[in-house]
Structure 1
Amino acid sequence: MTDNAVTDTATPDTAATGPADARVAAEAARRRTFAVISHPDAGKSTLTEALALHARAITEAGAVHGKAGRRATVSDWMEMEKARGISITSTALQFPYRDCVINLLDTPGHADFSEDTYRVLTAVDCAVMLIDAAKGLEPQTLKLFQVCKHRGIPIITVINKWDRPGRYALELIDEIQERIGLRPTPLTWPVGIAGDFKGVLDRRRGNYIRFTRTAGGATVAPEEHIPADEAHAAAGVDWDTAVEESELLSADGSDYDRDGFLSGESSPLLFTSAALNFGVNQLLDVLVELAPPPDAATGIDGTVRPTDGPFSAFVFKVQAGMDSAHRDRIAYARVYSGTFERGEVLTHASTGKPFVTKYAQSVFGQQRATLDTAWPGDVIGLANAAVLRPGDTLYRDVPVQYPPIPSFSPEHFSVARGTDPSKHKQFRRGIEQLDQEGVVQVLRSDRRGDQAPVFAAVGPMQFEVAAHRMATEIGAPISLEPLPYQVARIVEPEDAEFMNKQVSAEVMTRSDGVLLVLFSTPWRLQGFQRDNPEIKLRSLVAAADG
């Protein structure tokens, strides 16, 4: 089996470029920007923490569920995340490993926050798909895989929780190939069945990597690399079984193939226990050696922006409330090309207005530090960015605009009302802030008035987050009254008045000016379309559509 190492992503030939362009190309080649995606409770935040631990970015891993005496994970910093033990917002973590710079984007696992995860997937070059060893492929994992496939994002698969009872390794491999058509090409193979995780067979090098538990999995698990001819003495029949199964995989054509990986036909696969920090080092090494570095980006008009071209960046997320002592707002922007220098004046592509980057920061979970320089693949935090929204483009010198992030089709609707009349200014400011961040979509109508905006969401948990933030961050508590609608469609302005007269339907205006008509049920929509074929209603983009 061929061992594709760092030579796969070596620094490009710089003979034909100038010193500045050569530096940009070299720095871009060092970046690995990826997201971790999974179904809820597959161990995503635990893996994120373990990766940071093994890269020495933190000294001790936290526990997702906040067990006594241990802190919460770095990536789950919101109070609701700590209380529930789930990720409800995406987080950026940057740290060095070997000779590379890792930009890791943790994503919400819950389906209610699919929009946030989708935004993150517009900003990465690779995805790590995490699968629970006992549960296999789950619905949210399947949806996120489809998004990655649509966007052409290569996937590294990780089967997690091998320290717990679960399914057979070969059974999980077959399920992945049969259900999503992605051929797994294992790079490591477990020594010991699920629930009895002793170590892994490194299929590229042939040796046995034996793991040793640490107290509570809070520190890096020691590894012992044992040559193949000594592995039987160390692991007995479990080693023999691992070797036999690895040979079966090779005979079946399931060895790593770089072209297949980058084209989305196959997926390098590893076995881990993130909670015990087993197999995490191997994943970091694979990301450095095999994951693609940043590449040229394509603008909305089809123009290609190479990584060593003039500076450009894409805003994929806006987040407020990260620091209660500073009521600022952070815009997360992925650098696509050129060099970022703090303090320079960029152009906001959608408005043509200047944007000053005086308050640029590097972000590590909730922690922030002043950032002076960034390169393609990096994620920069732009503070006090009230004019920026997800989907915006920033550039210098040569204009470019990247495709916007589509809105998902909401299925849940609630009227928001302030419960304290004296807080009307805070109420208005908070609603605008939640809308700009994309926490919920905000709809309005003349019938309901400005003091009764309607929240539209993919899932009901978004309402909980919105209400919590309005009360705790904005200081303007709200009540939410559910509306009897389940589906939305885009309607043309000339048909709005007619639609407002329909039974079980209501027209509202989204903050971007788009008119939406809400129907009580999908069947009511179907009946209307059957009876009124001359009225053209357009679908909103759904999660699975990419």
Structure 2
Amino acid sequence: MSIVKEINKRRTFGIISHPDAGKTTLTEKLLLFGGAIKTAGAVKSNKIKDHAKSDFMEIEKQRGISVATSVMGFEYEGRKINLLDTPGHQDFAEDTYRTLTAVDSVVLVIDCVKGVEIQTEKLMEVCRMRNTPVIVFINKLDREGQDPYDLLDEIEEKLNIKVKPLSWPISMGKTFKGVYNIYKNNLLLFQASRRELKGDVVEIKNINDPLVDQYVGESYAKQLREDVNLIEGVYPAFEEKDYLSGEVAPVFFGSAVNNFGVKELLDCFIEIAPVPRERETEERVVKPDEEAFSGFIFKIHANMDPKHRNRIAFLRVCSGRFERNAPYHHVRLGKNIKFSNTTAFMAQDKEIIDEAFPGDIVGLYDTGNLKIGDTLSQGEGGMYKGIPSFSPEIFREVVNRDAMKTKQLEKGLVQLMEEGVAQLFTYEMGARKVIGTVGALQFEVIQHRLKHEYGATCDFLNMNLYKACWISSKDKKKLDEFVKSKYRHIAQDKDGRLVFMAETKAWLQMVQDNFPEIEFHFTSEF
């Protein structure tokens, strides 16, 4: 099969949302439709052993939240779908930001009761940076939520994107009747606690069909007709090109926990979502249908299987065909590497694959050669762009609680930092180790994983730090002088880059004014 045919079959997307909007539940329902799983897990319940398929780390099961990105592939209607379920919790936002570099589009889940929340806004900012196409799924219609028009206005205002409803709810909460599918011109009738995947779909000629009155009642049918007429008057006709350029977000309504409205979302998604797109390296723009293979590492996970100390790097294939056992050029190290053990994912389950195409996510077993942001190619030298580390917001010093396990602690910290769980800064003076994270929950995860995966125990001491700033200068002499004068506040990140650890905003401003030749960067990509 030609590479172009393979590319056109693929859809690679991420699901993003604020915590508790129903993202992991929606993920599972999509997997059910794709036949990838047979029963949905219980995300929140500790009593049920069959947890959400995409939440496989012990701490995720205990807390009922996703803390690492899960990758799942499945076939649906002749398409190969690669789905990345991201952490919703803001403390794990950096993992989500990196994952958004590996997808071609996203589905944004919004709780109809709570509307647009803070984390939703932050995630959307990252999508805006790359003009990533977005489909919105407004969830939990079986609950009493906000007025649909208010929700659409809020999405446009807070997320800075135009919307176009492609389905419309008929009431909500206790009187929720169903959804009218504007995109396909049919009626989807709601039944609470539906466990089958196929809902009652009523084919109608148009919105004025008497069948609408028959199924939802006259008053609801009248309101629906008024709503649909208003929608068609207020919102311009749906244009696929506007969606693909990231300017307009199609909106669907449903209830993921009840398997309701999910199929309509998925059917529209496979029709309009982008196929794998071209991507930029430091040297040029790479098209997916080029013959030569290339791809980048956007995530690393150690100990996915606690019984085997394995380390898996997640590779997004960007161009050409990836083949198992073929030698590929590691751009950063400047050497060739072969991968004999390459896998495709269904959350924790893996299967060996011999080849992969643009859009696919491949797991590479690794002994420590690969880092987040690394590029693999068939000889070309450019690194893929756009996978930065952001300056953390919370800083704590690492205190070893067991001197006999120092080596285990060192190894654990290095491996967890390479996964991108948090950032490690080692002070030039005294070799103090400081961990920086986006949120406090990360420290719990690090402690838990150090203890259970590496047998090491540590405490964290709070540190009064405002920002970690990567520093550079065109004048090496000036940079050396700055490092010498501020040596008590200089650290190195895990890659050996110099970082200035600023204690307050005012002090950072003063230092910037006093040293104009030094550039201070809030992301590691500069």
Q: In 2, are the aligned partners of 1:485 and 1:521 still within 8 Å (CA)?
A: yes
Residue 501 of structure 2: SS of its match in structure 1? Answer: strand
Instruction: Assess, with a 3 A threshold, how the Cα gap between structure 1 residues 275 and 169 changes in structure 2: closer, same or farther.
Output: same
2:463 is matched with which residue: 465, 483, 506?
A: 483
- 1:141 is matched with 120
Q: In 2, are the aligned partners of 1:108 and 1:114 still within 8 Å (CA)?
A: yes
- Give yes or no for the alignment of 1:192 onto 2:171: yes
- Give yes or no for the alignment of 1:253 onto 2:235: yes
After superposition, the C-alpha distances for 1:388-440 in whole angstroms (9 at most, x for unaligned) are 11111111244442115111011211121322222222122111101211111
Shift of 1:77: 0.8
Shift of 1:175: 1.5
Residue 127 of structure 1: SS of its match in structure 2? Answer: strand
**Counterparts of 1:493 and 1:36 in 2: how far apart (Å)?**
45
Instruction: Assess, with a 3 A threshold, how the Cα gap between structure 1 residues 280 and 457 changes in structure 2: closer, same or farther.
Output: same
**Counterparts of 1:350 and 1:305 in 2: how far apart (Å)?**
21
**Counterparts of 2:231 and 2:46 in 1: how far apart (Å)?**
40
After superposition, the C-alpha distances for 1:85-130 in whole angstroms (9 at most, x for unaligned) are 1111111000000110110001111122121011101011001111
Worse-matched range after superposition: 84-93 or 457-466:
457-466
Instruction: Assess, with a 3 A threshold, how the Cα gap between structure 1 residues 143 and 53 changes in structure 2: closer, same or farther.
Output: same
**Counterparts of 2:30 and 2:347 in 1: how far apart (Å)?**
13
1:57 is matched with which residue: 36, 46, 55?
A: 36
Percent identity, please: 38
Q: In 1, are the aligned partners of 2:42 and 2:48 still within 8 Å (CA)?
A: no
- Give yes or no for the alignment of 1:509 onto 2:496: no
What letter matches 1:462 in structure 2? Q
- 1:181 is matched with 160
Which residues in structure 2 correspond to 1:322-471 (within 5 Å)? 322-403=304-385, 405-449=387-431, 452-471=432-451
What letter matches 2:372 in structure 1? P
What letter matches 1:382 in structure 2? L
After superposition, the C-alpha distances for 1:271-319 in whole angstroms (9 at most, x for unaligned) are 0111111111011111111101012222211243342431111110000
* Structure 1 gap ranges (5+): 1-19
1:36 is matched with which residue: 11, 15, 34?
A: 15
Count of aligned residue pairs for this structure pair: 514
1:235 is matched with which residue: 208, 211, 216?
A: 216
What letter matches 1:444 in structure 2? T
Residue 455 of structure 1: SS of its match in structure 2? Answer: strand
Instruction: Assess, with a 3 A threshold, how the Cα gap between structure 1 residues 81 and 196 changes in structure 2: closer, same or farther.
Output: farther
Worse-matched range after superposition: 412-421 or 278-287:
412-421
Instruction: Assess, with a 3 A threshold, how the Cα gap between structure 1 residues 335 and 195 changes in structure 2: closer, same or farther.
Output: farther
What letter matches 2:441 in structure 1? M
Which residues in structure 2 correspond to 1:62-77 (within 5 Å)? 62-66=41-45, 68-69=47-48, 71-77=50-56
After superposition, the C-alpha distances for 1:9-42 in whole angstroms (9 at most, x for unaligned) are xxxxxxxxxxx7xx11101101010001111111
After superposition, the C-alpha distances for 1:214-253 in whole angstroms (9 at most, x for unaligned) are 46x5x52533324252121011122332222111111113
Worse-matched range after superposition: 380-389 or 224-233:
224-233
- 1:224 is matched with 201
**Counterparts of 1:521 and 1:297 in 2: how far apart (Å)?**
38
**Counterparts of 1:265 and 1:404 in 2: how far apart (Å)?**
21
After superposition, the C-alpha distances for 1:474-506 in whole angstroms (9 at most, x for unaligned) are 1111121121212222334431121236xxxx2
- Give yes or no for the alignment of 1:499 onto 2:491: no
- 1:275 is matched with 257
Superposed CA RMSD: 2.0
Shift of 1:193: 2.5
Instruction: Assess, with a 3 A threshold, how the Cα gap between structure 1 residues 494 and 77 changes in structure 2: closer, same or farther.
Output: same
Shift of 1:471: 0.5
Residue 35 of structure 1: SS of its match in structure 2? Answer: strand
1:209 is matched with which residue: 188, 198, 201?
A: 188
**Counterparts of 1:324 and 1:447 in 2: how far apart (Å)?**
36
- Give yes or no for the alignment of 1:150 onto 2:129: yes
- 1:17 is matched with none
Q: In 2, are the aligned partners of 1:201 and 1:243 still within 8 Å (CA)?
A: no
**TM-score where L is the length of structure 1:** 0.90
Worse-matched range after superposition: 190-199 or 423-432:
190-199
**Counterparts of 1:225 and 1:70 in 2: how far apart (Å)?**
37
**Counterparts of 2:176 and 2:340 in 1: how far apart (Å)?**
50
* Structure 2 gap ranges (5+): 472-478
Shift of 1:192: 2.0
Q: In 1, are the aligned partners of 2:397 and 2:435 still within 8 Å (CA)?
A: yes
Residue 179 of structure 1: SS of its match in structure 2? Answer: helix
- 2:476 is matched with none
Q: In 1, are the aligned partners of 2:161 and 2:248 still within 8 Å (CA)?
A: yes
After superposition, the C-alpha distances for 1:435-467 in whole angstroms (9 at most, x for unaligned) are 211111111124333xx4211112222221111
Q: In 2, are the aligned partners of 1:296 and 1:304 still within 8 Å (CA)?
A: yes
